[in-house]
């Protein structure tokens, strides 16, 4: 190999036959795709038959780190996972932090591609160039932390890292997550269900190999800059992490409330970061080679905690409405998306219950966003009289009912009672309910919206509509980052000059900014790096140059991101998705009548014009189909 940051080996495992083999890609593939999402989309197009059942043996499950994993670059403690999604029928592509991706890379492989379907439960054991399929019937049905502990004991190595599907994945919940390191989730698109359908309980990895890096002296200044500046530029992450922004977003109208119905959540402070840090927070966690430590760790000790309730009430924590058992710190703690999904979206102001829902989601392997939004949708249908006790087996959760919310999480993970219907997601559930219930779903391509309000961030709404995986806030822009000089604008100005733009603007200039920044986000999911880092285009171009030994400039890494998008689009088109799937739910386009965003709407005309502008910038036809000329310009024709 002539490319640093790679081993030149992709590990293939066929669970149906029990065979393993190693593929040695060309240098061209590494240089153009880098890894992560672009590699996932490429392999799915190449090796998965068109129209394959997402939960059948023909689907592939791909674990794809990028070139940065194993290099110890700060922010590279992440990895990507991909497949065809059982929730959307489109590309499934999700990322997780922690240590698992770093450890897989150190085993001597650049990716793992799982084919077929085992006859009985198994797990994979990968160590320093060796792969073994081992029986896992004894692990089936057990909680995430329990499985991790059992595998480490069985293999007699406490440093093993484990990724697993959880009970929800075993049960085929369409939004089941893949959990690694017990509390990190590749949460979206139902990848846990794909893993469970293959009878693959877990992938255990242990690597001791040192990744070859072409020119560490070229990478060191990037790491040094981060070390000198992260406290100032990522101060929000150092201080309180993602929960710290919840009450601010509520004040400006950006916190989704009661299934995106309401303009604000009056009890937001009760579930905000300040309350959590003053009460149930017991620590902060981090990912491999990351100094920021933005991840929350909470604990609740039942009766002893109740004795402190008067003290906590002074800090804003309300007495729990639920007879709460312990909350175990091994499952981390709720981040912003989870606080919004189980909290404000369900009208629940009980922080302990929200933290318990987070723990149960980690314990059983659920995507907290889709789980919370599905429960919120059910609450609205109950309120509107569209669901009866006869239909739900007696489960009729209402806004603010923390006990019912937690019961619903249990029902979904185990597909118990009405949970069997909820486990299919809001789109399928609404079709079953009928009577116009589809009008109250808040999803794109079948995936529920994250906790960011398009009426505040208009281009993000377009991003929800056109993201290849369905509604997603990470392969997207946050319009509020471009309303003042500096911040996101400083990064974009490395490529082209653009001034501050209103958050609700959808004109051509905003969509040009959107084009560059979404390519940047997709590049980071190829490399694979943390999007919370303050790196700009030049930093990661320089890091990629130093690690690989091949020169990249800012426009070169943006081209990597665009290749990921083009390949994802080709995959989705092949699987039957069309321009009609690039839409935004009506609810989040209509103006509120009160609150900070009163009167602000996204009109059909503005949305469609913005979407068509972006299609043009991507080199697509008016129907959203990539042209041969654009694919050739990106070098994808030779792949």
Please give, one letter per residue, the 3-state secondary structure of 128-197: CCEEEEEECCCCCCCCHHHHHHHHHHHHCCCCCEEEECHHHHHCCCCCECEEECCCEEECCCCHHHHHHH
CATH of the domain at 494: 1.10.599.10
My answer on whether 427 and 475 are in the same domain is: no
What is the domain range of residue 526? Answer: 458-633
Tokens of 112: 């793992």
Confidence of residue 40 (pLDDT cuts 50, 70, 90): very high
pLDDT in tens, 347-395: 999 999 999 999 999 999 999 999 999 999 999 999 999 999 999 999 9
400, 424, 448: which is the final residue of a domain?
448
Distances (CA, A) of 112 to 188, 204, 461, 500: 19, 12, 33, 43
Report residue 487's pLDDT band, with 50, 70 and 90 as the boundaries. Answer: confident
Q: Is the pLDDT of residue 319 over 70?
A: no
List the 19-23 sheet strands across, edge first.
19-23, 10-14, 111-115, 61-64, 79-84, 91-96
**Does residue 303 carry a pLDDT above 60?**
no
Which residues touch 546 (CB under 8 Å, ≥6 apart)?
A: 4, 213, 214, 215, 216, 217, 218, 219, 222
Residue 236 lies in a domain: no
Give the residue-averaged pLDDT of 308-319: 70
Instruction: State whether 547 and 436 are in the same domain.
Output: no
Does residue 63 lie within any of the structural domains? yes
Task: Report the SS3 class of residue 457.
Answer: coil
pLDDT at 445: 98
Check pLDDT > 60 for residue 617.
yes
Which pair of tokens denotes residue 44? 């799915």
> 312 and 345, same structural domain?
yes
Domain-ending residue, one of 206, 237, 265: 206
- The stretch 299-313 carries a mean pLDDT of 70
Q: What is the pLDDT of residues 79-112, one digit of tens each?
A: 999 999 999 999 999 999 999 999 999 999 999 9
Instruction: For residue 379, give the CATH number of its domain.
Output: 1.10.569.10
What does each C-alpha distance from 166 to 135, 145, 185, 362, 371 come to in angstroms?
A: 16, 10, 11, 8, 15
Residues 443, 477: one domain?
A: no
Other CB atoms within a 10 A radius of the CB of residue 604 amount to 11
The answer on 462 and 352 residing in a single domain is: no
pLDDT digits (tens, 9 = 90+) for 183-214: 999 999 999 999 999 999 999 999 999 999 99
The answer to the question of residue 232 being in a domain is: no
Residue-wise pLDDT tens digits, 404-462: 999 999 999 999 999 999 999 999 999 999 999 999 999 999 999 999 999 999 999 99
pLDDT digits (tens, 9 = 90+) for 157-179: 999 999 999 999 999 999 999 99
Residue 504 lies in a domain: yes
Final residue in a domain of this structure, among 448, 468, 498: 448
- Answer whether residue 324 shows pLDDT above 80: no
- pLDDT band at 616, cuts 50/70/90? very high
Contacts of 431 (CB under 8 A, 6+ apart): 437, 438
Q: How confident is the model at residue 494 (pLDDT cuts 50, 70, 90)?
A: confident
Is residue 409 domain-resident? yes
Examine the pLDDT at 312 and tell me if it is beyond 90: no
Residue 442 lies in a domain: yes
Cis upstream peptide for 238 (omega within 30°): no
* Residue 321 DSSP one-character state: S
Give me the CATH number covering residue 27.
Answer: 3.60.9.10
Give the count of alpha carbons within 13 A of 279, CB side only. Answer: 32
Please check the confidence at residue 132 and state whether its pLDDT lies above 60.
yes
Q: Are 100 and 167 contained in the same domain?
A: yes
Same domain assignment for residues 396 and 373: yes
pLDDT confidence tier of residue 306, bands split at 50, 70 and 90:
low
Tokens 């129209």: give the residue.
51
Q: Based on the structure, what is the number of domains in the chain?
A: 3
Residue 406 lies in a domain: yes
* 30: pLDDT strictly greater than 60: yes
- How far, in Å, CA of 612 to CA of 600, rounded? 22
Do 469 and 410 fall within a single domain? no
Per-residue burial over 352-375, b if 16 or more Cβ lie within 10 Å, else e, is bbbbbbbbbbbbbbbbbbbbbbbb
Residue 301's pLDDT is what?
A: 83
Q: In which element (H, E) is residue 201 found?
A: strand 200-206
Of 121, 190, 194, the closest CA to residue 366 belongs to 190
Q: What is the pLDDT of residue 488?
A: 83
Does 49 lie in the same domain as 121?
yes
Find the largest Cα–Cα distance for the chain.
68
530 has a pLDDT exceeding 90 = yes
Tell me what pLDDT residue 442 has. 98
The rounded percent of the chain whose pLDDT value lies above 70 is 97
Q: Give the integer Cα–Cα distance in Å for 367 and 174.
A: 10
Q: Are 436 and 536 found together in one domain?
A: no
Is the pLDDT score of 322 beyond 70?
no
- Give domain status of residue 237, yes or no: no
Contact 445, 401 (CB under 8 A): no
Do residues 45 and 636 touch, judged by C-beta distance below 8 A? no
Residue 345 and residue 464 in one domain = no
Mean pLDDT of 333-358: 97
**383 and 485 share a domain?**
no
């Amino acid at each position: 190999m002539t490319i640093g940051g790679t081993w030149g080996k992709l590990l293939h495992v066929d669970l149906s036959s029990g065979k393993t083999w190693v593929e040695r890609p060309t240098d061209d593939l590494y240089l153009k795709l880098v890894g992560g999402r672009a590699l996932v989309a490429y392999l799915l197009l190449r090796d998965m038959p068109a129209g394959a059942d997402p939960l059948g043996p023909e689907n592939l499950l791909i674990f794809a780190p990028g070139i940065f994993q194993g290099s110890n670059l700060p922010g590279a403690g992440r990895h990507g996972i991909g497949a065809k999604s059982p929730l959307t029928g489109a590309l499934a592509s999700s990322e997780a932090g922690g240590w698992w991706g770093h450890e897989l890379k150190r085993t001597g492989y650049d990716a793992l591609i799982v084919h077929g379907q085992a006859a009985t439960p198994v797990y994979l054991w990968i160590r320093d160039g060796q792969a073994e399929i081992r029986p896992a019937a004894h692990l089936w049905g057990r909680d995430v932390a329990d499985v991790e502990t059992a595998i480490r004991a069985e293999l007699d190595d406490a440093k093993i890292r484990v990724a697993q599907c959880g009970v929800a994945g075993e049960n085929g919940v369409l939004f089941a997550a893949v959990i690694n390191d017990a509390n990190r989730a590749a949460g979206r698109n139902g990848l846990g269900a794909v893993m469970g359908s293959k009878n693959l309980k877990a992938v255990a990895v242990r690597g001791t190999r040192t990744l070859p890096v072409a020119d560490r002296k070229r990478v060191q200044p990037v790491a040094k800059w981060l070390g000198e500046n992260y406290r100032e530029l990522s101060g929000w992450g150092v201080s309180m992490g993602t929960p710290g922004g919840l009450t601010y977003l509520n004040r400006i109208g950006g916190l989704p409330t009661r299934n995106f119905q309401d303009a604000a959540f009056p009890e937001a402070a009760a579930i905000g970061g300040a309350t959590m840090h003053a009460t149930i927070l017991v620590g902060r966690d981090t990912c491999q080679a990351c100094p920021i430590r933005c991840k929350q760790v909470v604990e609740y000790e039942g009766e002893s905690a109740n004795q402190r309730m008067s003290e906590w009430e002074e800090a804003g924590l309300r007495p729990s409405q639920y007879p709460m058992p312990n909350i175990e710190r091994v499952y981390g703690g709720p981040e912003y998306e989870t606080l919004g999904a189980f909290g404000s979206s369900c009208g629940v102001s009980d922080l302990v219950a929200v933290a318990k829902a987070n723990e149960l989601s980690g314990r059983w392997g659920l995507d907290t966003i889709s789980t919370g939004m599905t429960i919120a949708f059910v609450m609205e249908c109950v309120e509107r009289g569209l669901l009866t006790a006869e239909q739900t087996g007696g489960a009729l959760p209402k806004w603010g009912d923390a006990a019912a919310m937690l019961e619903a999480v249990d029902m979904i993970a185990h597909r118990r009672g009405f949970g069997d219907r909820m486990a299919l997601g809001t789109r399928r559930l609404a079709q079953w309910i009928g009577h116009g219930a589809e009008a109250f779903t808040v999803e794109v391509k079948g995936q529920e919206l994250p906790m960011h309000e398009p009426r505040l961030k208009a281009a993000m709404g377009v991003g929800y509509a056109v993201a290849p995986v369905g509604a997603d806030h990470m392969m997207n822009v946050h319009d509020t980052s471009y309303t003042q000089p500096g911040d996101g604008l400083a990064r974009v100005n490395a490529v082209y000059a653009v001034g501050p733009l209103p958050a609700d603007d959808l004109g051509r200039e905003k969509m040009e900014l959107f084009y560059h920044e979404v390519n940047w986000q997709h590049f980071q999911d190829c490399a694979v790096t943390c999007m919370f880092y303050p790196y700009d285009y030049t930093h990661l171009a320089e890091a990629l140059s130093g690690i690989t030994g091949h020169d990249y400039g800012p426009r070169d890494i943006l081209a990597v991101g665009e290749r990921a998008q083009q390949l994802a689009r080709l995959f989705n088109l092949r699987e039957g998705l069309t321009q009609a799937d690039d839409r935004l739910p009506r609810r989040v386009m209509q103006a509120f009548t009160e609150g900070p965003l009163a009167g602000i709407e996204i009109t059909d005309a503005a949305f469609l014009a913005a979407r068509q502008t972006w299609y043009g910038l991507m080199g697509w036809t008016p129907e959203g189909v990539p042209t041969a000329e654009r694919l050739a310009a990106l070098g994808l024709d030779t792949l």
